[in-house]
Amino acid sequence: MATMIDRARAFLELRRIALVGVSKDPRAFSRAILRELLGRGYDVASVNPSLADVDGRRCFARVQDADPPVDGVLIMTRPSAAAEIVRDCAAAGVRHVWFHRGGGPGSASAEALELCRVRGIEFVTDVCPFMALPQAGWIHRVHALFRRSARRPVE
């Protein structure tokens, strides 16, 4: 049976990804993930309705505005925004969503997860991308070891 880490690694096989909730602060964690994904050759569309561009790259207001369209969406917003983003994903035909979770509560909400289930959207939750990326730093590998939810089978 697949674990969330297994699902995360499958998500990382997608090449065109939207990062929803990319911060305007270049020191923010979302920007570190954006830089890491770009550095690994991913085609990343930044999504934040408050930004026109991020590091000289166009930023889109919503998932369905991404051009070209994306295969998956990494959500790095507060949980209260997650359900609306899942609706945007469904409208854009996106079938893969990752709700980021680091040390805090993460991006998922019960409503967003239920929307994924109802709409047939594969999702990853309770996992930080650095935990699933190959050759991530040792601190991220240790973090993965301590996250039981990442090792539990998906129900």
Range of the domain at 54: 4-151
Residue-wise pLDDT tens digits, 42-60? 999 999 999 999 999 999 9
Neighbouring CB atoms inside 10 A of 100's CB total 24
DSSP characters for 101-145? -SSSS-S--HHHHHHHHHHT-EEEEEE-HHHHSTT--HHHHHHHH
Residue-wise pLDDT tens digits, 9-34? 999 999 899 999 999 999 999 999 99
Half-sphere exposure of 55 (CA within 13 A, CB side): 15
Average pLDDT, the chain: 87
- What is the C-alpha separation between 52 and 34, in angstroms, rounded? 16
Which backbone phi and psi does 10 adopt, to 5 degrees? Answer: -65, -40
pLDDT of 152 higher than 80: no
- What is the C-alpha separation between 120 and 139, in angstroms, rounded? 34
Please name which of 35, 2, 27, 20 lies closest in space to residue 133, comparing C-alpha atoms.
35
Residue 15 sits in a domain whose CATH number is: 3.40.50.720
Q: What is the pLDDT of residue 135?
A: 66
What count of residues does the chain have? 155
pLDDT band per the 50, 70, 90 thresholds, residue 138:
very low
Domain count, the chain: 1
pLDDT of 141 higher than 50: no
What are the residues whose beta carbons fall under 8 Å from the beta carbon of 34, sequence distance 6 or more? Answer: 19, 22, 44, 46, 54, 55
Residue-wise pLDDT tens digits, 58-106? 999 999 999 999 999 999 999 999 999 999 999 999 999 999 987 777 8
